[in-house]
Structures are given as structure tokens and as C-alpha cells.
Amino acid sequence: SITPDCLDKRFKLILNIVKAVIPLPTLKTPASAEYLGSYFQGASCWRSRSPGGVDMTCLQVDLFSRWTVKMMMRKIGLNVGTIMEVVIVDWPGQALLTSFRLEVTPEFRQNTA
């Protein structure tokens, strides 16, 4: 279930840099990954139900809320051509919450600069 401390005690972030200017290994495994709250200051998570009865969970983060994450994203993560996989897991439940692959295009870079 979603609790106020889920970002600090349940949800972990795993980044896998698939393609980058500088080759990088997968940063973490689920067991060794940091909790999501340690990467993003002021992140929030909440659940709601649509009028049609669909349960939804929304996770909101500021990619640039912490200086170290901001510098990593600007120097490595947001270069045009970079491809990264972002995985969020519920570690106590050992369940995948979401996963997506992001390819940085010139348009994406322009909108996040």
C-alpha cells in the first residue's frame, strides 16, 4: 500500500545506462539500490481512482532537486543520444512498479535544459 514513507522505505530506483557518451555499468541492483526519496527532495506519491473506477498511483519527482542528481543528469543523463532504462521497484514486496526506457532527443534536451 502507499504510505507517507513509501519513498524512503519501500520504493527503490535502478538506472541502467544503455547508451551514453561515457560507457557506464548498471548503477545498482534492487538489493543494493537506494530508496527513491534519497535521490529526489520533496518527491511525492499518491493514489486515486478515476471516475471509471481505475486505480491510479502517481509519483512526482523533481529531477533537479538534489545537486548531485542534477549534475549527473546534465553531464551524462541528458546528452542527446543517451538511452537509459529507469526501473522502480517495491523492494520489501520485491515487485516491479514501473519501468521505462528514455532516449534523449534534441527536442527532449531542449525542453529539459
The residues spanned by each domain of the chain are: 6-112
Whether residue 105 is predicted with pLDDT greater than 90 in this model: the reply is: yes
CA distances to 26, 49, 52, 53, 83 from 86, rounded to whole Å, are 10, 25, 29, 28, 10
Tell me, what's the pLDDT at 26?
A: 64
Please tell me the number of Cα atoms within 13 Å of 37 on its side-chain side: 13
pLDDT value for 70: 79
pLDDT at 27: 63
Least confident stretch, 12-26, 27-41, 43-57, 87-101: 12-26
pLDDT at residue number 25: 67
Does position 77 have pLDDT exceeding 80, yes or no? no
Predicted TM-score (pTM) of the model is: 0.77
Contacts of 51 (CB under 8 A, 6+ apart): none
Percentage of the residues of the chain whose pLDDT score is greater than 70: 94
